[in-house]
Structure 1
Amino acid sequence: MRVPAQPDGESDEVPQLRAAEYVRMSTEHQQYSTENQADRIREYALRNHIHIVRTYADEGKSGLRIAGREALQRLIRDVEAGTADFQMILVYDVSRWGRFQDSDESAYYEYICRRQGILVVYVAEQFENDGSPVSTIVKGVKRAMAGEYSRELSAKVFAGQCRLIELGYRQGGPAGFGLRRALIDQRGLMKGMLARGEHKSLQTDRVILVPGPEAEVATVLRIYHWFIDDNLSELQIAGRLNAEGIGTDLGREWSRSTVNEVLTNEKYIGNNVYNRVSFKLKKTRVINPAELWVRKEGAFEPVVSPELFFTAQGIMRARLRRYSDEDLLERLRQLYQSRGLLSGLIIDETEGMPSAAAYAHRFGSLIRAYQKVGFTPDRDYRFLEVNRLLRMMHPAIVAETEAAIRAIGGSVYRDPATDLLEVNGEFTASLVLSRCLVMESGARRWKVRLDTSLCPDITVAVRLASSNESALDYFLLPRLDFGESKFSLAELNAAELDCYRFDTLDYLYGMAARQRLRRAA
């Protein structure tokens, strides 16, 4: 491409910048395909005399974190190693770079590129990424919006999934041995069976569980009778099945844990249970307490009778009660000495050992049981204990606040699904607990996460003491002044933050108090 001749009569070719393009398509959000992104990027490159020399593509990858995004990881490695043969990176928009829940992480990866002299350009955005104050502010807002979109979508999807569970529909996961997934239309009429790996194609269709082939159903019943009538252990039952050449639903040999799954999963009596484990926004996997499970009883045609199922559960509970705490710990200690490490899988697959769930139930968590026998996992799991305490404390603090407001004459309604409080029909309040983090220097920090999806008028941030077992103080944060979803607090904060701090919740209660007015003459 040439430009008009220069005043001295000479003509030069327009120098072309070398660029790499990065495209991403998420499995959750299919608004733009990588091809559409590439088309817009190449149009931009053509207009601006940019030569694209390399393509990095993450197809079907979530933008919540960099893990699993091999193309972006490779791009960052090339930039840091100094082997990048380009001067800029073209991206469709800020959300394609990532929907990181911490907007600083998005900025960090961009900073790595800029530090090496490589500019990141968002071709579909209305701002120039030139480092000016305006572009910095707009880009920060865009990053926060990209992360907030995922949070809001996660909350909506979870609510929708819970609703479908309560209506009796299956949500994800393989059917399991002795069961099959069936596709039904919006009127409940059967459309056919789904093979492993197949999914519904219409939004209005639904999936339910139905009994599988007669041979598999008969095998499930045999497993229950062997366990109840013949008093066989899970490992002995697995040995029988393997000797007969019967495989699991995955075509693999049976093990102690796969037999235990058949004996303990409520789907075999037709119950639909959801939210036993949470893994929202690609964060830490959390095993939820039973009160948080979403259950629909009698959702499917049962494979075994409830009497048979609950008899098996009674045997398991009785088997657990035979062990004292000392017996359980001694068995765990011997297993640790023989294997050199511990895990839930090792415990479940060892003959003569109670299940990992039994240890978690008896001692509060597997980590606590590990600690009692002197085993320390490679990872620091103390945060799991703290999170467990926070989940236990939160309902008590909400209930205490409700009672205090009613005691002074106010009215309060608590949404059972979100714990959002509506006070006197005038304003809403949400209570969040902020755990104390003790740094290596001894300084204390608190991360406050606001539930912006609920849009409360006031967020009560309960700052916990160093032990994370009691409240230290309270921050009353009005929504109009705090638009960000999270921020950090130190022991000493700026005056504009500290003005919201209170030693008690008396100020909140004062807002809810009702005064009797004297009738005018």
Structure 2
Amino acid sequence: MKPDNNPQEGKIRAAAYVRMSTEHQQYSTHNQRDVLDEYATKRGMEIVDLYSDEGKSGLNIQGRDSLAQLIADVQEGRAQFSCILVYDVSRWGRFQDADESAYYEYICKRAGIAVHYCAEQFENDGSPVATIVKGVKRAMAGEYSRELSSKVFQGACRLVEMGYRQGGTAGFGLRRMLIDQSGNQKGMLKLGEQKSIQTDRVILVPGPDDEVTTVRWMYDAFVNEEKIEREIAEILNNRGILTDFGRKWTRGTVHAVLTNEKYIGNNLYYRTSFKLKKEHVVNPPERWIRADGAFQAIIEPTQFFTVQGIILARSRRFTDEEMLEKLRAVLSKHGQISGLLIDEEEDAPSSSAFRHRFGSLVRAYRLIGYTPEIDYSFLEINRALRERHASVLAEVVTKLRELGAVLLQDEDTGLLTLDGALTVSIVIARHRATDAGFSRWIVRFDTALMTDITIAVRMAPGNSEIKDFYLLPALDMTESNVRLAEHNGIWLDAYRFDSLDFFYGMARRCRVEELS
């Protein structure tokens, strides 16, 4: 609700913007409003408009309807105020690109509307000091979200490996069981319910006997009776059996039961990711976090893997062109393609079969000239960058050995140890472009490896060619990652090189006579 729009005569008209991410956040919108009201009173201001985003992340502007409305009102001349009051820089946003935060403030400034950060220790008056402090605060706000995301992810991975379920519904035939920190069962969680005590954990357990029997029948019908998913779905619907969401069965929902490892007790995590609300990534199996045998299985592993073999074998009888023709038929029928639509088609191989045959669904789409509305090109870029990392690592290893270095290579992590003393790791810094067209790179250090030197391979726009290299010593790198722009000042660009010749010169073995 907006406050009174008739301020006292002589008062400066102001708008207030408040935001919080969760209901449990320390600074609620009410607390923020108290600070803004006090600030306005001291400055001779009257708040005439209130824009509030409650329960909204500050990572981007998507979903923050009030901030978007505020910016639109300013741009389109509807603003009936001359300044905007915000609690602090982080409430304006924890944008991952600090330039985005500055961009929205600049829109207001250009329209003659100043932004006041009421709880900050600096005056947002455009002075050099204010500009520097504000830039640091913006970077800190974004870094806080990145560090929090990393910590949450690492914690979730650890809990998954310990056998605890991390989010998502149980699935038909299974239930979520709440247990305390001692492992004692406390009761079943219903659909939509969440644990309320931080130390409690969730595991999967077999559901009602009739559902477990139904799941086992589905596997048996698929293997022994040679029934396909569509036939199984029709039988279940004729029997009046509904899915765990109370819906009728389809080919896709049956396929999901037949291909999910949780039915053999495996706990899987990170199959997809959506970190910091950036790109939704479908991760390859080798990156999944798993704990095999974490839960009580309701399907024997031998039967489960027999089903997987049958599903893959169905596609082997098709040539590549025949499979692509099936894909064209899906596109012609629906006007679009997705993994779900593919799995719903009776006579088409499963989406997993297309991934197995062509490397990814995106590559299969491209072969028939289809471009999805969502840009999945980053998947291909990620794959290419993984290949680039492997090639750079192999090139470095070959060169070092040619120079006579005593080299040890960790096959799992890629960590290189030179002459038993110096450790080196290689990371690929993907090129990204901001909305304003500026180039940005993020170098993420693997802090678990405790590397002495990180070779950061900075990719050129398009991510197909290498732009340059940074040799970053651990002694001078105090953060878990470094954000790079085109030019970064002497304290970072002193480590920049057009090639790795300098590094190879450091690693070259010399005789003692050469040094005397």
- Aligned partner letter, 1:448: W
Structure 1 residues 447 and 398 mapped into 2: Cα distance closer, same or farther (>3 Å)?
Answer: farther
More divergent stretch after superposition (496-505 vs 176-185) = 496-505
Residue among 180, 188, 193 paired with 1:185? 180
1:105 and 2:100 are equivalent in the alignment: yes
Q: Partner of 1:485 in structure 2?
A: 482
- Tell me what 1:172 maps to: 167
The answer as to 2:217 corresponding to 1:222 is: yes
**Cα-to-partner distance string for 1:232-281 (whole Å, 9 max, x where unaligned):** 11111111111222111111111111111100100011000111112111
Q: For each residue in 1:36-57, what CA deviation from the matched residue of structure 2 results, as whole angstroms up to 9, or x when unmatched? A: 2122222222222221222211
Aligned to 2:3: none
Q: Output the CA distance in 2 between the equivalents of 1:447 and 1:113.
A: 25
- Please give the secondary structure, in 1, of the residue aligned with 2:427: strand
CA 456–85 in structure 1, closer or farther in 2 if over 3 Å, else same? farther
Aligned length: 499
Give 1:414 deviation, angstroms: 5.5
SS at match of 1:298: coil
| CA positional deviation for 1:189 | 0.8
Cα displacement (A) at 1:75: 1.3
Letter in 1 for 2:482: S
Q: Which residue of 1 aligns with 2:135?
A: 140
Alignment of 1:451 onto 2:451: no
In the alignment, the residues of structure 2 paired with residue 499 and residue 382 of structure 1 have an alpha-carbon distance, to the nearest angstrom, of 33
Task: Describe the shift of the 1:496–1:36 C-alpha distance in structure 2 as closer, same or farther (beyond 3 A).
Answer: closer
Q: Is the 8 A contact 1:424 1:512 kept in 2?
A: no
Partner residue in 2 for 1:288: 283
Amino acid at match of 1:210: V
Show the counterpart of 1:10. Answer: none
Q: 1:401 to 1:161 in 2, by over 3 A?
A: farther
The separation in 2 between residues aligned to 1:183 and 1:497, in whole angstroms, is 49
Residues 453/96 of structure 1: CA separation in 2 closer, same or farther (3 Å cut) = farther
- Cα deviation for residue 363 of structure 1 reads 1.1
- Does 1:373 find its partner at 2:374? no
The verdict on how the C-alpha distance between 1:47 and 1:139 changes in structure 2, with shifts beyond 3 A counting, is same
Contact 1:79–1:116 (8 Å) recurs in 2: yes
Distance 1:30 1:438 in 2: 32
Query: Residue 9 of structure 1 aligns with which residue?
Result: none
Structure 1 unaligned residues grouped into runs of 5+: 1-12
SS state of the match for residue 120, structure 2? coil
AA matched with 1:374: G
After the TM superposition, which of the residue ranges 306-315 and 407-416 deviates more from structure 2?
Answer: 407-416
Distance change >3 Å, CA 400–CA 210, structure 1 → 2: farther
Offset at 1:410? 4.9
* Partner Cα distance (2:458, 2:427) in 1: 9
Q: Residue 248 of structure 2 is aligned with which of 243, 247, 253?
A: 253
In the TM superposition, residue 230 of structure 1 has moved relative to its aligned partner by 1.4
- The offset of 1:31, in angstroms, is 3.1
Q: How does 1:145-164 map to 2 (within 5 A)?
A: 145-164=140-159
Residue matched to 2:68:
73
What is the CA-CA distance between 1:357 and the residue it aligns to? 2.1
**Deviation of 1:397 (Å):** 2.7
User: Normalising by the residue count of structure 2, what TM-score does the alignment of the two structures yield?
Assistant: 0.87
2:304 to 301, 309, 323: 309
1:3 aligned residue:
none
Report SS of the residue matched to 1:450.
Answer: strand
Stretch deviating more after TM superposition (324-333 or 248-257) = 324-333
Confirm or deny: 8 A CA contact 1:184 1:192 kept in the other structure: yes
CA distance in 1, matches of 2:48, 2:416: 56
CA drift at 1:502: 3.7
Instruction: Tell whether the 8 Å contact from 1:436 to 1:445 is kept in structure 2 after alignment.
Output: no
- 1:51-450 maps to which residues of 2 (within 5 A)? 51-378=46-373, 380-398=375-393, 400-402=395-397, 404-405=399-400, 408-410=404-406, 429-434=424-429, 447-450=440-443
Deviation at 1:460, TM superposition (A): 2.5
Question: What whole-Å deviation, never above 9, does each CA across 1:368-425 have from its counterpart, x for those lacking one?
Answer: 21222232334554343122111233244335535655664356675956x6667668
Cα contact 2:407–2:416 (8 A) shared by 1: no
What secondary structure sits across from 1:295 in the alignment?
strand
Q: Which amino acid aligns with 2:241?
A: I
Amino acid at match of 1:308: Q
Any idea what SS the aligned residue of 1:18 has?
Answer: strand
Paired residue type of 2:405 = G
**Whole-Å Cα distance in 2 between the matches of residues 273 and 28 of structure 1?**
29
Distance 1:214 1:230 in 2: 22
SS of corresponding position for 1:104: helix
Would you say the 8 A contact 2:311–2:353 is kept in 1?
no
8 Å Cα contact 2:98-2:135 kept in structure 1: yes
For 2:39 and 2:415, the matched residues in 1 are separated by 47
Query: Residues 75 and 158 from structure 1, CA distance in 2 versus in 1: closer, same or farther, beyond 3 angstroms?
Result: same
Q: Greater shift after overlay, 370-379 or 452-461?
A: 452-461
Instruction: Verify: 1:26 aligned to 2:26, yes or no.
Output: no
Correspondence for 2:4: none
Contact 1:256 1:348 in 2 (8 A): yes
For residues 482 and 456 of structure 1, what CA distance do their matches in structure 2 show? 12
- Aligned residues of 1:435 and 1:446 also touching (Cα < 8 A): no
Counterpart residue number, 2:5: none
Q: Please say if 1:460 is aligned against 2:455.
A: yes
SS in structure 1 opposite 2:56?
coil
Whole-Å separation in 2 of the counterparts to 1:132 and 1:236: 72
Task: Confirm or deny that 1:476 pairs with 2:474.
Answer: no
Equivalent residue runs for 1:486-505 within 5 Å: 486-489=483-486, 500-505=495-500
SS of match in other structure, 1:304: coil
Distance 2:46 2:213 in 1: 65
Counterparts in 2 of 1:451 and 1:426: CA distance versus 1, 3 Å: farther
**CA deviation profile, 1:300-322 (whole Å, cap 9, x unmatched):** 01111112211211211221222
Q: Taking structure 1 as the reference length, what is the TM-score of the superposition?
A: 0.86
**Contact preservation (8 Å) 1:19, 1:86:** yes
Q: Are the counterparts in 2 of residues 406 and 412 from structure 1 also a CA contact under 8 Å?
A: no
Residues 43 and 437 (structure 1 numbering): CA distance in 2 closer, same or farther, change over 3 Å?
closer
**Which secondary structure state, in structure 1, belongs to the residue aligned with residue 144 of structure 2?**
helix
Matched-pair identity in %? 57
Provide the rounded CA distance (Å) in 2 between the counterparts of 1:413 and 1:200.
Answer: 44
